[in-house]
Structure 1
Amino acid sequence: MKISRRTFIKRTLKSIVGILGLTGAGYYYARFIEPDLLTVQRYKLESERIPLSFDQFKIIQFSDTHIGFHYDLKQLNKLINTINNESPDLILFTGDLVDAPHQYTFTNELPFLLSQLKAPSGKYWIYGNHDHGGYGTEKIQSVMEDGGFQLLKNQHTSIHNKNDSFILAGLDDIMLGKPDLSKTLEGVDDQAYTMLLVHEPDVADQVRNTSVDVQLSGHSHGGQIQLPFYGPAVTPPYAQKYIEGHHSVRPGLDLYISRGIGMTRMPYRFLCLPEISVFQLQAIPKSSSIQE
């Protein structure tokens, strides 16, 4: 069931009341400890559709930094070092760079730090709802471009290795953008291995009707606060069916949702560690029939 922005905020405030009701140690942990406990989620993407030259190709996804809301450039620099230490071939950012673009004081340091991320096959990004919010659409695009990232907005590109390639596509934000899934995938060969970036994970139920193999999303933050035996206290619109981790949407379509890096609306994480996702491609040789 979808909820309105107002309902989401009300539920978020209730969650804040709940977290403040924890013990002093619990509050301190949620406010000051867990938000800095960055984890690395590792996945293998196996498919006969992955070209053999991409076997062991490494992709890193990071999402939802929300810079300016209890996440600063010093923390971003630490994140960048962590990502570079993984030696990725391709880096993907799935939206929400700055929490409130109309309030944030932009300096040259932010694009400079983003430019320090290194990946030989490129760096790509999509808009999140906070990127469009607060009149940030053009400013965030400028910052990301200066940082060496290429925007995928209702469009796709080919990632090449030797004589092979796979498709990387990106959809504009669902909540505040102008998404067009048909345009995004227009001209894509149905037999090509295709990865789609979508900020809001619940869009996967629309993507299931396409030939996409993998959808990467963020937006949910995993709920930020998870309660034992209950799960996420509240999640935003378009992140209520699919909240975190790996989901098999249909045979041949896998959805992976990052809990993201930063926070929004409330400066807490509880049982919901921040994360980056590392994907290792594994090409499966196509089975050949034996003729007698």
Structure 2
Amino acid sequence: MNRRSFLKKSFGSLLAFLGLSGGTYYYAREIEPSLLDIHQEIISSAKVTSEFNHFKIIQFSDTHIGFHYSLEQLEELVQTINNQKPDLIVFTGDLVDAPNDYNWNTTLIRILGSLDAKYGKYWIYGNHDHGGYGTNIVKNVMDQAGFNLLQNQHTTIKKGQESFVLAGIDDVMLGNPNLEKTLNQIDPSLFTLLLAHEPDFADKTINYPVDVQLSGHSHGGQVRLPIIGHLYTPLYAQKYVNGKYQVDHLTLYVTKGIGTTRLPYRFLCKPEIYVYTLQSN
């Protein structure tokens, strides 16, 4: 850590301590984590064909169920997502916080299974999904809930006579991501959307024919302060933290996610889902 980063984090931590120990503590722990932003984005590309004009994709990520995020909250989230009437739903990793400690039950499968999208539900592994011996457990739950895993794989979303590519890589931290294998034999003229849990992977994605990358992992920092911004983000979410970035030809979107981890706080960093609407140029 360089001197500037050290001073920023030290000063920010002091302000966070003073602020959260005062009147904002209750808000950061009890109120903001239960709020939800519905973030609307238009993805415009010459590669998006007329068949997919106004096609709606919803991304949710980092629920971290079990760590101050309940199944009741998840059920409300699912209702909110379904109310948006998505054509396609993608989940970009970290379903539960600690798979080895979580009390797995059929209620979770029922809730996730009630998510509805005409063109399917897809997901990728996050680091917490692989951690705690969760790899097979999480996959079994998502399989039963009707989600399709993209682990160094791609699929073709078809509508009428047109199509686009939806791809997903394995988790960067605890998995074995292989983008070359993931994109093997795709048609580069097709619009290509990549799911990658860790946003900083974008610096590798730009070497491939990918148009848009959707990521999570960062939580937006969870605690953000005026002027200073976020205080901490995990490995592989330190360069791209929140929002939209243009990285060479690649457009990257990083969601702040739904749940919390490590600390049960959110401050100036509300949970969110992304609603993307494809637009044909």
- Aligning the two structures, in what range does the TM-score lie when normalised by the shorter sequence? over 0.9
What pairs up with 1:224-239 in 2 under 5 angstroms? 224-239=222-237
Q: Distance in 2 between matches of 1:69 and 1:24?
A: 23
Residue in structure 2 matching 1:94, options 92, 95, 103? 92
**1:201 Cα offset (Å):** 0.1
Task: Determine whether 1:261 maps to 2:244.
Answer: no
After TM superposition, which residue ranges in structure 1, 4 or more long, deviate above 2 angstroms?
A: 17-21
- Any idea what SS the aligned residue of 1:114 has? helix
Instruction: Say if 1:98 and 1:131, in contact at 8 Å, map to a contact too.
Output: yes
**1:19 Cα offset (Å):** 3.6
Instruction: Say if 1:100 and 1:134, in contact at 8 Å, map to a contact too.
Output: yes
Unaligned 5+ runs, structure 2: 3-8
Structure 2 residue aligned with 1:79:
77
**1:24 Cα offset (Å):** 3.0
Q: Distance in 2 between matches of 1:18 and 1:237?
A: 23
Q: Distance in 2 between matches of 1:25 and 1:71?
A: 23
What pairs up with 1:185-200 in 2 under 5 angstroms? 185-200=183-198
Q: Distance in 1 between matches of 2:208 and 2:17?
A: 44
Structure 2 residue aligned with 1:281:
278
Residue in structure 2 matching 1:175, options 166, 173, 176? 173
Q: Could you say what the CA RMSD is over the residues aligned between the two structures, in angstroms?
A: 1.5
Q: Distance in 2 between matches of 1:200 and 1:21?
A: 31
Structure 1 residue aligned with 2:6:
none
2:134 partner letter: G
After superposition, give the CA deviation of every residue in 1:166-210 in whole Å (9 maximum; x if it has no partner): 000000000000111100011111111000000000000000111
Instruction: Say if 1:19 and 1:27, in contact at 8 Å, map to a contact too.
Output: no
- Any idea what SS the aligned residue of 2:213 has? strand
After superposition, give the CA deviation of every residue in 1:43-73 in whole Å (9 maximum; x if it has no partner): 0000110111000000000000000000000
Aligned length: 273
Deviates more, 1:17-26 or 1:71-80: 17-26
Residue in structure 1 matching 2:106, options 101, 105, 108? 108
1:279 partner letter: Y
After superposition, give the CA deviation of every residue in 1:133-155 in whole Å (9 maximum; x if it has no partner): 00000000000111110000000
**1:20 Cα offset (Å):** 4.1
Q: Distance in 2 between matches of 1:140 and 1:47?
A: 34
Structure 1 residue aligned with 2:159:
161
**1:236 Cα offset (Å):** 0.3
User: What TM-score comes out, normalization by structure 2 length?
Assistant: 0.94
Q: Distance in 1 between matches of 2:267 and 2:214?
A: 23
What pairs up with 1:215-254 in 2 under 5 angstroms? 215-251=213-249, 253-254=250-251
- Any idea what SS the aligned residue of 1:24 has? coil
Unaligned 5+ runs, structure 1: 3-10, 285-292
| Closer, same or farther: CA 230–20 of 1 in aligned 2, 3 Å | closer
Structure 2 residue aligned with 1:150:
148
Q: Distance in 2 between matches of 1:217 and 1:104?
A: 24
Q: Distance in 1 between matches of 2:177 and 2:246?
A: 23
- Any idea what SS the aligned residue of 2:23 has? helix
2:171 partner letter: D
